[in-house]
Structure 1
Amino acid sequence: MLKSKIKTGVLASSVTVMAVSMIIFPQESLDASIRGLNMWWEIVFPSLLPFFIVSELLIGFGVVKFIGVLLEPLMRPVFRVPGVGGFVWAMSMASGTPSGAKLTARLRQEDQITKIEAERLVSFTNSSNPIFIFGAVAVGFFHNAQLGILLAIAHYLGIISVGLVMRFYGSTEETKINDKKKKPSIRDALSALHKTRIKDERPIGQLLGDAVLSSINTLLMIGGFIIIFSVINKLLYLLGITAFLAGFIQYLLGVIGLDEALSMAFISGLFEITMGSQMASQVQETNLLHQAIIVSFFLGFSGFSIQAQVASLLAPTDVRFKPFFISRILHGIFASMYALLLWKPFYLPFIQTDEPSNAMPVMNRLVEEGTKMADFHLSLTQLGPLITIFSLFVYIILYYKKMNRGLYG
């Protein structure tokens, strides 16, 4: 009872301080809000919407169940999740956060995975997409496409490591499941696809409309979190809380051998990846290795902004947030360690271009792909607002029709 009262007092006080701070700093709050809004409607909305819609359709048509049956012999013994986890994993790496949480919640709601399996699955299907790593971070902030190779490898090795660790999670809580290897069967997969499709009695038109509505609803929620955490991050700086915490962070960074000048960037990165990565790239009095380690931690930890989005997506289910939070800390640590270990073999040899190397052509192709991703990221910021406005217009029409069906049908 006392713990609950303390929690109530802390939450009420925090919201009150935030409201008063927004009144004291109206212009700064507005600027931070606009920055978050620009990020959402230029990048997040247009990049995630297609993946969300296609994912909803694949689940409705039974394709995900089909893939799940085929991948069961791989995902079950390695990560102790059903085969459908392979689809969620692939989509999360392609589209980025928080798509893994959205798909995991959807599968849990349809009872395709158990509670423990969902908590395992969401822990290693939360990753940044390559476009963000190369386009925004490596090229956009550091102007260094080669760094994107290191960050991406460290990030994805980290997420695999988290999956292997979390396979042991919940062993005492779940009922024993037969992990015996079974050969994938096309016939069984096609049968599962057909049964799933028949079970969903919605016509194709309604299924498509529901997919659009559900996807845009989720993205509107994500936009709200991005904006509010952008404002919170700014207010913490204006109130001096960031500077106060920087002293402790400087001591912590000094203990682990990292440059203390990165303390302010570290605090910002705990709240929001983009801002933290940008601030880390602007610290001049440090070396690139320390910056790469810090940014790798940001990408793995995901920031409180994305974690709040995931918590909101998991809230309608019985999937607990705590395992996800622990896995984010693990991912940040693993990714930072991989960045340190891979610095010499994967980065230093390829920036010394004065000596020939047989590996250079391969690295050049990877760098060229990273540059293309940066160009795509730039074009997305230009076309993103138009895509967002058009999609919201379609959303209003579909929502109006759905409301009419509910009233008169």
Structure 2
Amino acid sequence: MKQLFKTFMLAALTFFFAFTLIKYPSNALEASIRGLDMWWEVVFPSLLPFFITAELLLSFGVVKFLGVVFEPIMRPLFNVPGVGSFAWIMGMVSGYPTGAKISVRLKEQKQISQVEAERLVAFTNSSSPLFIFGAISAGFFHDVKLGVLLAVCHYVGNALTGICMRFYGRNMDEPHKRESRKISLKRAFSAMHETRILDKRPIGEIMGDAVINSIKTLVMVGGFIILFSVLNKMLFLIGLTPIIAMLFQSVFHVLFLPIELALPFISGLFEITLGANMVSKENIDPFLASVIIVSFILGFNGFSIQAQVASIISKSNIRFYPYFLARILHGFIASVLAIILYKPLYLDKKETNVEDMPVINPDQENDWVNILTSLEQIGPIITIGAFALGFIILYRRSRNHF
């Protein structure tokens, strides 16, 4: 009966989505192009180098080296092996969903257990500095100084979430060898060499696999970006998003938050970029309320990012719900940090900069925007070039196979 109900619901939702596409074809096309532009101009070219690098570092044993070095830090803090440090660092530098991708690869290589992978996925998917400083702070709010506050709240909040998640699934922990608390470079190099030797693939095949696997993952990411861009637009056009926002207005009133931010908040739950952009256009006083909402939706990741993570971990036995609960926790922690740090990291620095007005260089605040603009210009070339390279690799392999 339960499966029958699930089948009916999935069919009904799919039919309803198809009906909205037929009713609003021009709006659907516009939203689809918006998502596609975002993917092939920014997301694909910015994530591809990190994905390929991560695959190579895993194959050459460098991640195992880092695992031995950072074991004395990662195990006490997050209750995960030292190799988790690689997923954490790469997740912060390149942005979502890199942390999930690397966590799955570590699980496939049996460097971490299922419950350790679930803990790792819960706190290694974070926004990139380029997105926080470039798109949100400089692009939407036209204030790079805000990026410092948002970044600290986001990354510190993610670390605190990871510390909280260390207690998740302790009864499912497998017995692990107790590593020495002292950092040993000799053991680290030995582990790296052993890992490389165990991988029997030639270097050319390793590099080819890294490119192909990275492109496959990013194509899936692009599909979800386009899907949720259209879905978010359709929900707004049929009036569902405003209805949900009206329900949240009472919650915002209780929390002393402006009810005008309810609609941007709901939009941000689906797609971070759209939600943050809508918040920036509200011009809310006090400004702290806008910072709180943006911090929450950054920590929550948005359903679009969560769907990408769910798809990446679906082929393994890593469960989704620990990640989802961690996203809610991260959103609340980041919001609380925004309240605590708003004055020392934003207001005080803004007042200091007002006093030092003659030495301010306005062009410095546009550096992140210039980076995004440059990426949008050369991004499509990188994307097309990567697909051409992937096609050549697959073509040569098919010829060698026959």
TM-score (norm 2): 0.96
More divergent stretch after superposition (226-235 vs 342-351): 342-351
Q: Residues 95-125 of structure 1: CA distance to partner in whole angstroms, max 9, x if unpaired?
A: 0000000000000011110001101111110
Structure 2 counterpart of 1:145: 144
Q: Superposed, which structure 2 residues align to 1:7-406 within 5 Å?
A: 7-179=6-178, 181-352=180-351, 353-355=353-355, 371-406=366-401
Give me the whole-angstrom Cα distance separating, in 2, the residues matched to 1:103 and 1:388.
21
Distance 1:331 1:368, change over 3 A: farther
Question: 2:278, 2:227 → 1: CA distance?
Answer: 19
Equivalent AA in structure 2 for residue 77 of structure 1 = P
Distance 2:160 2:308 in 1: 23
1:131-180 CA distance string (max 9 Å, x none): 10000000000001111111001001100110110010111122343556
> How far apart, CA to CA, are the structure 2 residues paired with 1:388 and 1:226?
16
Indicate conservation of the 8 Å contact 2:52/2:210, yes or no: yes
CA contact (8 A) 2:284 2:290 kept: no
Amino acid at match of 1:397: I
1:295–1:285 Cα change, 3 Å: closer
Structure 2 Cα separation of the partners of residues 369 and 339 of structure 1 = 24
CA contact (8 A) 1:148 1:370 kept: no
Structure 1 residue identity aligned to 2:273: T
CA positional deviation for 1:400: 1.8
Q: Give the counterpart letter for 1:403 in structure 2.
A: S
CA distance in 1, matches of 2:77, 2:231: 40
Separation in 1, partners of 2:192, 2:185: 10
User: Quick one: distance in 2 between partners of 1:369 and 1:167?
Assistant: 40
Q: What is the CA–CA distance in structure 2 between the aligned matches of 1:30 and 1:4, rounded to whole Å?
A: 34
Paired-residue identity, %: 50
Aligned to 2:316, the other structure's residue is in SS state coil
Q: CA deviation at 1:369?
A: 7.4
Distance (whole Å) between structure 1 residues aligned to residue 20 and residue 300 of structure 2: 27
Q: Output the CA distance in 2 between the equivalents of 1:122 and 1:63.
A: 20
Whole-angstrom CA distance in 2 between matches of 1:287 and 1:6: 46
- Which secondary structure does the structure 1 equivalent of 2:384 belong to? helix
Contact 2:138 2:368 in 1 (8 A): no
Q: Which runs of 4+ in 1 moved over 6 A?
A: 367-370
SS state of the match for residue 124, structure 1? helix
**Conservation of the 8 A alpha-carbon contact between 2:65 and 2:191:** yes
Shift of 1:371: 4.4
Asked if 1 retains the 8 angstrom alpha-carbon contact of 2:143 and 2:365, the reply is no
Normalised to the residue count of structure 1, the TM-score between the two structures is 0.94
SS at match of 1:172: helix
Shift of 1:402: 2.5
State whether residues 98 and 306 of structure 1, in contact with CA within 8 Å, keep that contact through their aligned partners in structure 2.
yes
Paired with 2:8 and 2:204, the residues of 1 have a C-alpha distance of 48
Residue ranges of structure 2 left out of the alignment (5+ in a row):
none
1:348, 1:285 → 2: CA distance?
Answer: 16
Instruction: Supply the AA of the counterpart residue of 1:392.
Output: F
Deviation at 1:246, TM superposition (A): 1.3
Indicate conservation of the 8 Å contact 1:269/1:277, yes or no. Answer: yes
Q: Answer whether contact 2:299 2:334 (CA < 8 A) is retained.
A: yes
What secondary structure sits across from 1:222 in the alignment? Answer: helix
**SS of 2:243 mapped into structure 1:** helix
Q: Secondary structure of 1:175's partner?
A: coil
Checking the alignment, whether the CA contact within 8 Å between 1:28 and 1:234 is kept in structure 2 is yes
Structure 1 residue ranges without an equivalent (≥5): none
- The code of the aligned residue for 1:213 comes to I
Give distance in 2, aligned partners of 1:95 and 1:390: 20
Distance 2:395 2:108 in 1: 26
* Structure 1 pair 69–20 and aligned structure 2 pair: CA distance change class (3 A): same
CA distance in 2, matches of 1:240, 1:195: 58
Give the CA deviation at 1:76.
0.8
Report how far residue 4 of structure 1 moved: 2.4
Q: Is the 8 A contact 1:123 1:163 kept in 2?
A: yes
RMSD of aligned Cα (Å):
1.9
Task: Please identify, of 56-65 and 385-394, the stretch whose mean Cα deviation from structure 2 is larger.
Answer: 385-394
- SS of the residue 2:171 aligns to: coil
Provide the secondary structure at the position in 1 that maps to 2:124: coil
User: CA shift at 1:392, angstroms?
Assistant: 1.1
Deviation at 1:183, TM superposition (A): 1.4
Asked if structure 2 preserves the Cα contact closer than 8 Å seen for 1:265 and 1:280, the reply is: yes
